[in-house]
């Protein structure tokens, strides 16, 4: 082997900035940032732009810290699952020890800086969120119970609450409505994915509902949670964070979501296998937009409210 080929092989094995960034789960971070941003702006108090920028930055770093610590803990199952085997640790780009160090450092940095930039309540909620995602969900529930996604979904639902606390420093009903929407959205979103990725969870020994109770039960659960989600999302339209614009958008999106859930519920496995789970994949893609559309509607209402056009006033 020539020196050029050796050097090329070495460069291919070295971690790049992109590999380290991937540890932070940037796709998940996008949702964290957006929902936290909406929670920040939906709060009934003005926030200085610099304070707001710092708050979102440190919430994003906290979300990234959670992602890195999750990858460190799940190294063994990530190597088995097709969906995750190209992540930085299984692919050999980044070591588990480096990932742990990055996750811990970002956790301390994000919580400390958010507390200093905003208030103690926001920092404490971010610390609890990281703990919940890493310890309660990743280390405990994920490999223990088919309700892992249901209970663990709370971790992804805290960002709008953190954003609200960063702005106000106090609790209210409205951020918990946003929390509830994300919380109820999480199970049908992940169960739809599990329907066409079941072999991954089988191979990794993760007790997803599709593994422990079968696909028929999973389809029923998706429909039930989608109905409950629709009731909650539409009900939020009549709260302080809602309004006519939100209501109109929510009605359309939830009708589409309910239609998808009913189609999934009516399907049998032969039909799903025949078209490679086309209906389930379409529902999953729609679920990716569901939260962004709803929180975008909340954001529109919040931005219009100072001009007397948002909400029901």
pLDDT tens for 242-284 read 999 999 999 999 999 999 999 999 998 888 888 989 999 999 9
Selected residue with higher pLDDT from 176 and 203: 176
Determine which helix (DSSP H) or strand (DSSP E) holds 15, and give its type and residue range: none
First to last CA, the chain: 75
Give the three-state DSSP class for 224.
Answer: helix
Q: What single-letter DSSP state applies at residue 143?
A: T
For residue 311 the two structure tokens come to 């909400």
| pLDDT of the residue at 289 | 95
Cβ 186 vs Cβ 153: under 8 Å:
yes
Q: Determine which of 9-18, 69-78, 101-110, 138-147 has the lowest per-residue pLDDT on average.
A: 9-18
Place of tokens 């780009």: 93
| pLDDT of the residue at 12 | 53
Give the list of residues 6+ apart from residue 94 with CB closer than 8 angstroms, or none.
Answer: 15, 19, 20, 23, 88
Q: Which of 147-151, 181-185, 309-313 has the highest mean pLDDT?
A: 181-185
For residue 169 the two structure tokens come to 């420093």
* Statement: residue 108 has pLDDT above 90: yes
Residue 16 pLDDT grade (very low, low, confident, very high; cuts 50, 70, 90): confident
Distance between CA atoms of 174 and 22, rounded to whole angstroms? 32
Cα-based angle 141, 147, 150 (whole degrees, multiple of 5): 100
| pLDDT of the residue at 13 | 60
Percent of the chain predicted with pLDDT > 70: 95
* Statement: residue 215 has pLDDT above 50: yes
Give the list of residues 6+ apart from residue 93 with CB closer than 8 angstroms, or none.
Answer: 13, 14, 15, 16, 19
Place of tokens 């939260």: 291
* Statement: residue 5 has pLDDT above 80: no
* Per-residue pLDDT tens digits for 37-47: 999 999 999 99
* Statement: residue 1 has pLDDT above 70: no
Task: Look over the chain and give the mean of its residue pLDDT values, rounded to a whole number.
Answer: 90
Q: What single-letter DSSP state applies at residue 309?
A: -
Residue closest to 232 by CA, chosen among 254, 263, 248, 256? 254
Q: Determine which of 102-111, 141-150, 176-185, 295-304 has the lowest per-residue pLDDT on average.
A: 141-150
| pLDDT of the residue at 308 | 83
Q: Which of 19-28, 139-148, 241-250 has the highest mean pLDDT?
A: 241-250
Query: In terms of C-beta density within 10 A (0-12 exposed, 13-18 middle, 19 or more buried), how is residue 255 classed?
Result: exposed
At what angle are helices 96-117 and 120-131 packed, to 10 degrees?
A: 160
The torsion angles phi and psi of 118, rounded to 5 degrees, stand at -125, -85
Handedness of CA 72, 77, 80, 85 (dihedral sign): negative
Distance between CA atoms of 212 and 207, rounded to whole angstroms? 6
Distance between CA atoms of 185 and 293, rounded to whole angstroms? 13
Place of tokens 């080929």: 5
DSSP secondary structure string, 165-214?
HHHHSS--HHHHHHHHHHHHHHHHHHHHHHHHSHHHHHHHT---HHHHTH
* Statement: residue 61 has pLDDT above 90: yes
Q: How many C-beta atoms lie closer than 10 Å to residue 168's C-beta?
A: 21
* Statement: residue 6 has pLDDT above 60: no
Question: What is the value of pTM for the model shown?
Answer: 0.90
* Statement: residue 205 has pLDDT above 90: no
For residue 202 the two structure tokens come to 């089988």
């Amino acid at each position: 082997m020539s020196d050029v080929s050796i050097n090329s092989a070495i460069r291919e094995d070295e971690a790049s900035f992109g590999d380290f960034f991937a540890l932070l789960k940037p796709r998940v971070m996008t949702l964290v940032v957006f929902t936290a941003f909406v929670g920040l702006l939906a709060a009934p108090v003005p926030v200085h732009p610099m304070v707001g920028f710092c708050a979102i930055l440190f919430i994003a770093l906290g979300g990234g810290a959670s992602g890195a610590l999750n990858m460190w803990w799940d190294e063994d199952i990530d190597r088995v699952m097709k969906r995750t085997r190209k992540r930085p640790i299984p692919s050999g780009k980044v070591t588990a020890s480096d990932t742990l160090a990055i996750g811990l450092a970002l956790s301390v940095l994000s919580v400390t800086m958010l507390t200093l930039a905003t208030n103690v309540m926001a920092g404490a909620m971010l610390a609890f969120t990281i703990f919940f995602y890493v310890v309660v969900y990743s280390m405990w529930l994920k490999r223990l119970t088919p309700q892992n996604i249901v209970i663990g979904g709370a971790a992804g639902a805290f960002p709008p609450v953190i954003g609200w606390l960063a702005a106000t420093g106090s609790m209210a009903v409205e951020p918990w409505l946003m929390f509830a929407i994300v919380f109820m959205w999480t199970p049908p979103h992940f169960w739809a994915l599990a329907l066409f990725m079941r072999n991954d969870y089988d191979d990794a020994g993760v007790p997803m509902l599709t593994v422990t109770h079968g696909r028929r039960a999973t389809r029923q659960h998706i429909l039930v949670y989608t109905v409950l989600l629709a009731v909650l999302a539409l009900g939020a339209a009549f709260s302080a964070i809602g309004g006519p614009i939100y209501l109109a958008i929510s009605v359309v999106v939830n009708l589409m979501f309910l239609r998808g859930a009913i189609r999934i519920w009516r399907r049998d496995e032969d039909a799903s296998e025949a078209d490679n789970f086309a209906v389930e994949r379409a529902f999953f893609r729609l679920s990716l937009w569901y939260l962004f559309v709803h929180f975008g509607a909340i954001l529109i209402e919040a931005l219009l409210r100072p001009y007397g056009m948002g909400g029901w006033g």
